[in-house]
Structure 1
Amino acid sequence: MKQLAFCLAASAALAGVGTAPLAAAAGGTSVAQACQGTIYLTFDTGSQSQAELIGDVLKRQNVRATFFLANEKTVRGDYSLDRSWSDFWKARVAEGHAFGSHTFDHVYYLRDAAAGKIAVKPQFGAHAGRTEEWTTQQYCEEIRRSDKRFQELTGHHLDPIWRAPGGKVSPRTLAAGKSCGYAHVAWAKAGFSGDELSSEAFPNAVLLKRALDGLRDGDIFMAHMGIWSRKDPWAPANLEPLIMGLKQKGFCFATMREHPDYLIKQ
């Protein structure tokens, strides 16, 4: 039923009407046929320069997405899981989005180390920039830290999913996440937004066309909520055109809770 709701929203956008008339016909087959596939939009925290815009676009387009949260420094001078971001995250919870861990200190996996340990480098926090060797239990606890903070901010737990910074994993880190109940979420090759790349070499128009041409049913799409290094930010130019373009192709949208490989119970 959740995916059908997204199909209704997509159909309404194409028809230029509200969802109420379509909802009345939810039991029919013609509405369901409007959904030619499902795309899973996901966003990792970053500089948060585009956070409010992303929230506004998703709400306006009636699209649910999945957010992966780390406590990263933002353009406001605070951190993305500080109390100052509580209202923002509460609003996204109320809108029905899904949420996963991105490790609390945005910890990069470097390599598997001796004695079953994992070599890592936190980007933020007390040990920022240091190479450390963690046990799988320490790695698991780092994933959980984001959940604990999210609960403090919103009263809600994260969903049992996580994404490694940079997408860098090994069987050992995947097993560490699984040991404490978290499944790793990567992204499709066509789902790489390119918002980390140079805007001179990869202008927004090129990235938008690549996504619209390449995305297929079931693909997971990944972008950030702001990238410090990109001079021409991705989201203002591309997010709404991407969603509208995918709707025109007949795609619907769902969170990772509805993904067939995860199917998270609420």
Structure 2
Amino acid sequence: MRTSLPVLPSRLRKIAALAATVAAGAAIWPAQAATDNVASCKGTIYLTFDTGSQSHADYIAQTLKKHHIKATFFLANEKTIHGDYTLDPAWAPYWKSRVAEGHAFGTHTFDHVYVQRDLPDGRIEVKPQFGAQAGKKEVWTAAQYCSELQRVADRFTELTGAKLDHLWRAPGGKLTPQLLAAGRACGYSHVAWAEAGFSGDELPSDKWPNAMLLQKALQKLKDGDIVMAHLGIWSRKDPWAPAVLEPLISGLEQKGYCFATLRDHPAYQAALSKQQTAVIK
């Protein structure tokens, strides 16, 4: 015998209808909240991360994902705590995941090449930290430096299938007039960081404890500032990221700040948009 469903009393029907309304509202809340959050931003902070020992690469990625934050990564082929290098095939899944999450990416020179000085003949003296010429001073032309920037872009595409953004950060942030001109000549915009945006994650932790670095950042960061940290530093005994990153993000969010990649930074947005259009064409 077929049993019919009971008819709900009027009061229960009203409760059921209210629950359905709440559920429907909850379904659209995240998108609406995100829109409201952007509209109510006091300002925007641009988090950037350079490759390094990669000791906290996973933690940083998980923290950004937890807070729904997009950042910008600058890549060099650096030795990691696993004994491999950051642009080895073993790191392809890591970089592919960051691409899928919507982060931006720039070149940090393939062999983490430090500039030494400009030479009178227009060439540049450099010193790679990694690679076949690690620790040796070399003299490069502007074209050779451009090739070094492009090596990262080519490897990134091999690993992820995605294109590198035309952003560049010189190791140590060190520039010379001829080096800056070389980067511009091959279409890369150099990205430094704000004074308040220097995370201090490579400083000795006994002299610069994490609590001090966190307090400094929360007090001094302002709208438009670029923050620079690493995916791991060999030398710092008390690591920066696990102690500082999440409270820094939470503190800035509480002050009304939002976060974005450098694709949305006023200083780089127009140039990157033109480059993206050129790639599509």
Which residue is 1:199 aligned to?
Answer: 205
Matching residue's letter, 2:31: A
Q: What is the rounded CA distance, in whole Å, between the counterparts of 2:168 and 2:45 in structure 1?
A: 18
Give CA-to-partner distance per residue, 1:177-219, whole Å, 9 cap, x none. Answer: 1111100000000000000100000000100000011100000
**How much has 1:252 moved relative to structure 2?**
0.3
2:24 pairs with 1:23: no
Larger radius of gyration: 2
How has the CA–CA distance of structure 1 residues 168 and 25 changed in structure 2, closer, same or farther, with 3 Å as cutoff?
closer
154, 157, 160: which is aligned to 1:148? 154
Shift of the alpha carbon at 1:157? 1.4
Aligned to 2:178: 172
Decide whether aligned partners of structure 1 residues 63 and 148 sit closer, same or farther in structure 2, where only a CA change above 3 A counts.
Answer: same
Per the TM alignment, residue 96 of structure 1 is displaced from its structure 2 partner at its CA by: 0.1
Q: Would the alpha carbon gap of residues 26 and 149 (structure 1) be closer, same or farther in structure 2, given more than 3 Å must change?
A: closer
1:22–1:31 CA contact under 8 A, matched in 2: no
Q: 1:186 aligns with which of 184, 192, 200?
A: 192
Question: Is the contact between residue 100 and residue 158 of structure 1 (CA under 8 Å) also seen in structure 2?
Answer: yes
Work out whether residues 54 and 232 of structure 2, in 8 Å CA contact, stay in contact via their aligned partners in 1. Answer: yes
Query: Match for residue 45 of structure 2?
Result: 39
Shift of 1:260: 0.5
- How has the CA–CA distance of structure 1 residues 22 and 153 changed in structure 2, closer, same or farther, with 3 Å as cutoff? closer
Deviation at 1:24, TM superposition (A): 3.6
Aligned-CA RMSD value: 1.7
Q: Tell me which residue corresponds to 2:20.
A: none
Determine the C-alpha separation between the residues in 2 that align with 1:66 and 1:105.
19
Alignment match, 2:104: 98
- SS for the counterpart of 2:44 is strand
Distance 2:34 2:144 in 1: 47
Deviates more, 1:96-105 or 1:175-184: 175-184
Separation (CA, whole Å) in 2 of partners of 1:243 and 1:86? 27
In the alignment, the residues of structure 1 paired with residue 253 and residue 32 of structure 2 have an alpha-carbon distance, to the nearest angstrom, of: 21
Structure 2 letter corresponding to 1:129: G
Q: 1:147: how far off?
A: 0.4
Counterpart of 1:204, as a letter, is: N
Percent identity between matched residues is 64
User: What secondary structure, in the 3-state scheme, does the structure 2 residue paired with 1:41 have?
Assistant: strand
1:125-168 CA distance string (max 9 Å, x none): 00000001100000111011100100000001110000000000
Structure with the greater relative contact order (CA < 8 A, sep ≥ 6): 1 or 2?
1
What amino acid is the match of 2:96?
K
Instruction: Give the Cα–Cα distance (whole angstroms) in 2 for the partners of residues 258 and 206 of structure 1.
Output: 30
Query: What is the CA distance between 1:32 and its match in structure 2?
Result: 4.6
TM-score scaled by length of structure 2: 0.85
1:75 aligned to 76, 81, 84, which one?
A: 81
Contact 1:45 1:80 in 2 (8 A): yes
Shift of 1:68: 0.1
Residue of structure 2 equivalent to 1:159? 165
Equivalent residues of 1:68, 1:101 under 8 A apart: yes
CA offset at residue 36 of structure 1? 0.1
Distance in 2, matches of 1:24 and 1:213, equals 30
The normalised TM-score by structure 1 is 0.90
Paired position in structure 2 for 1:7:
none
Q: Secondary structure at the match of 2:121?
A: helix
2:120 alignment partner in structure 1: 114
Q: Which sections of structure 1, spanning at least 5 residues, go unmatched?
A: 1-17
Structure 2 unaligned segments of length 5 or more: list them.
Answer: 1-25, 277-281
State whether residues 118 and 177 of structure 2, in contact with CA within 8 Å, keep that contact through their aligned partners in structure 1: no
Question: What amino acid sits opposite 2:54 in the alignment?
Answer: Q
Is residue 183–residue 189 contact of structure 2 (8 Å, CA) maintained in 1? yes
Q: Distance in 2 between matches of 1:261 and 1:212?
A: 23
Counterpart pick for 2:227 among 221, 228, 233: 221
For the pair 1:257 / 2:263, whether they are aligned, the reply is yes
Deviation at 1:172, TM superposition (A): 0.9
**What number of residue pairs does the alignment pair up?**
248
How far 1:23 sits from its partner (Å)? 3.0
CA contact (8 A) 2:218 2:252 kept: yes
